Structure 1
Amino acid sequence: MYEDPSRWAITLQSYVQLTMLQQHILPQVHALNRKESVKMLMKKITFLFSLSSFTMPAVDYAVLTEWFNWIVTNVNIPIDLIVYLQTAPETCHERLRIRCRNEEQVIPLEYLEALHQLHEDWLIRQTSFKVPAPVLVIPADHDVQMMLKQYEDHKEKIMHPVCKRSAT
């Protein structure tokens, strides 16, 4: 996708939307010794990546937009909390370099900067797309030990968000 985005962006984004939708509509299961169920997903069905219309032809972008709008309108996907691991594009780029996966070595910093801007516009400035739940922002430019500490500091908020659905 990164080597030839105009060819592969629609394929990747369609597949991402499909698999995220499949994960979101699976029934929740109760964890051991817990009364309530918890479902944590990497990301909600999101328009962010397809908002990067610079990576695909306009017709593909239009089709993906229609598909996304249909999902949002016709499928109930409740969400209680968004945890935004706010990371600088330079940090992400360095982590890709260190991880050394062949397919990620071609990802330009400019692409990560564009995605970062989209996340900031959506989750921080809330200007690009309606935020469907409260946003917990956790700075994530830190090493693993500091991230574990931050997780522990926020564990209660993450594992037991105030459910907006129970109030309605």
Structure 2
Amino acid sequence: MLLIKIICVGSLVGGLLGAPELKIIDLMDQSLWSSLGYPEKSILDTSRRNIQVDPLSAQPGLELWNPEYFPSADNIINRVSGRPFTISVEGNVGSGKSTLLQYFTDYPDISVYKEPVEMWTNLNGTDFLGLVYQDSKRWGMAFESLVQRSMLDHHIRDRRQKGKLTPAVKVMERSLQSCRYCFVEQLRTVLSIGEVNLLDSWHQLMKNNIEFDIDVDVIIYLKTSPEVAFQRVRKRNRQQEMSLPLDYFDQMHRC
């Protein structure tokens, strides 16, 4: 798995399409790799390198795109689960994830799954997103259970089946990994130990069973300052998020 951090300055999509280069940094920190439960790999030897990559031409930086970091075509085709090449786009609230995913929707061979905010804000008339922001101690367990359920649905889609044409690449907005290792951890101070352990047990069950195969091949992390993310959220004016203080964005930035 490869972790790519993109430093977001100004218009994200405009930068991707018009800027002469992307800065891809800090491939994967050893402690983060271990916390996610993955074995050590040679990719760790390249961590903390700064590599300049021109996304529009075959120039220096192509060393990133080799089998050391990505599974081979044979590996993908022969996956028992049938999971396609999977990319998760991660980042703070308001970092530009949805904007980036919109760019991928122009490609017919790529399936795109945005966070199901409509479900989270209206599940049979219940606004779980609004409730967890209002009282995370009371609603944290319920909301994270809902997130796990909806993210699992995205993870298991587009599995290769005989006689069925499926997308070669899947791009997801966030993943079960960030659900468990970011948001559950952020709620650890208000959830009971039993609630955290229960959420973790569900994650471990999905992680350790090949029929689920919730792995991802690439993580794109959109690194945005808490202040910028805060201002973007205020500007988009989503009702459930308007009460979030700047401190929340700072906590998620450090997660």
TM-score (normalised: structure 2): 0.41
Report the residue type matching 1:59 in the other structure.
G
1:37 aligns with 2:172: no
In structure 2, relative to structure 1, the CA distance for the partners of 1:13 and 1:36 (3 Å cut) is closer
- Matches of 2:175 and 2:217, distance apart in 1: 11
CA contact (8 A) 2:207 2:213 kept: yes
Asked if the contact 2:137–2:190 (Cα under 8 Å) also holds between the matched residues in 1, the reply is: yes
Does residue 1:109 correspond to 2:240, yes or no?
no
| Equivalent runs, 1:131-142 vs 2, <5 Å | none
Q: Percent identity?
A: 30
Question: Structure 1 residue 80: deviation in Å?
Answer: 1.6
Q: Find the partner of 1:51 among 185, 205, 209.
A: 185
- Any conservation in 1 of the 2:233–2:242 contact (CA below 8 Å)? yes
Aligned residues: 114
Counterparts of 1:1-168 in structure 2, within 5 Å, are 1-28=132-159, 37-46=168-177, 47=180, 48-52=182-186, 53-74=188-209, 75-118=212-255
Moved over 3 A (4+): none
- Is contact 1:14-1:64 (8 Å) kept? yes
Runs of 5+ in structure 1 lacking a partner? Answer: 30-34, 119-168
Between the aligned partners of 1:38 and 1:55, the Cα distance in structure 2 is 37
Alpha-carbon offset, residue 18 of structure 1: 0.9
Q: Deviations over 1:5-49 (max 9, x none)?
A: 0011111111111111111111257xxxxx961110001212111
Contact 2:137 2:191 in 1 (8 A): yes
Q: CA deviation at 1:100?
A: 1.3
Change (3 A) 1:15 1:9: same
- The answer to whether the Cα contact below 8 Å between 1:20 and 1:44 also exists between their aligned partners in 2 is yes
Alpha-carbon distance in structure 2 between the residues aligned to 1:91 and 1:15: 28
Aligned partners of 1:107 and 1:38: how far apart in 2? 34
Deviations 1:72-128 (A, max 9, x none): 11232232211111111111111111111221111122222111111xxxxxxxxxx
Distance 2:151 2:208 in 1: 16
Structure 1 residue 58 displacement after superposition: 2.8
State the Cα RMSD in Å.
2.1
Higher strand proportion (structure 1 or 2): 2
Where do 5+ consecutive residues of structure 2 fail to align? 1-131, 161-165
For residues 110 and 57 of structure 1, what CA distance do their matches in structure 2 show?
Answer: 22
SS in 2 for 1:62: helix
Q: 1:42 to 1:51 in 2, by over 3 A?
A: same
Query: Which has more helix, going by share of residues?
Result: 1
SS, match of residue 54 in structure 1 = coil
